Amino acid sequence: MNPFGYSEPVWRLFTEPPRAGALEGARVLKGVASTPANRNRLELWVRLNGEVIEDARFQAFGCPATIAVGGWLCERAIGSTLADLATIRGREIRQALEIPEDRLHCALLGEDAIKSLAPT
Partner 1 sequence: MIYLDHAATTPLDPAVFEAMLPFLKPGGVHGNPASDHLEGKRARDAVEQARGQVARLIGAEPGEIVWTSGATESDNLAIKGAFDFYKERGRHIVTSMTEHKAVLDTCRHLETQGAKVTYLKPGTDGRVSPEQVLAALTPETVLVSLMWVNNETGVIQDIAALAPALRAKSVLFHVDAAQAAGKVAIDLRAVPVDLMSLSAHKIYGPKGMGALFVRKRPRARLAPQLHGGGHEQGMRSGTLPTHQIVGMGTAFQVAGERLAVDHERLGTLRDRLLERLRALPQIFVNGEAAPRVAGVLNVSFAGVEGESLRASLPELAGSSGSACSSGTGESSYVLRALGRDDDLANASLRFSLGRTTAAEEIDTAAAQVVNQVRRLRALSPLWRETA
Least Å from the CB of residue 74 to partner 1: 12
Task: Select the span of 2-10, 73-81, 82-90, 107-115 touching partner 1 (CB under 8 A).
Answer: 2-10
Q: Is 108 helix (H, G, I), strand (E, B) or coil?
A: helix
- Rule CB under 8 A: say whether 73 interacts with partner 1: no
Residue 53 has a CB neighbour count (10 Å cut-off) of 23
- Rule CB under 8 A: say whether 7 interacts with partner 1: no
CA distance 76 to 116: 17
> Angle formed by the axes of helices 64-77 and 90-97, to 10°?
110
What mask, x for binding partner 1 by CB under 8 A, covers residues 24 to 53?
---------------xxx-x----------
Least Å from the CB of residue 83 to partner 1: 26
> What b/e sequence results for 36-48 when a residue is b if at least 16 CB atoms lie within 10 Å of its CB, and e otherwise?
eeeebbbbbbbbb
Q: Which residues bind partner 1 (CB under 8 A)?
A: 1-4, 6, 14-15, 17, 20, 39-41, 43, 59-64, 66-67
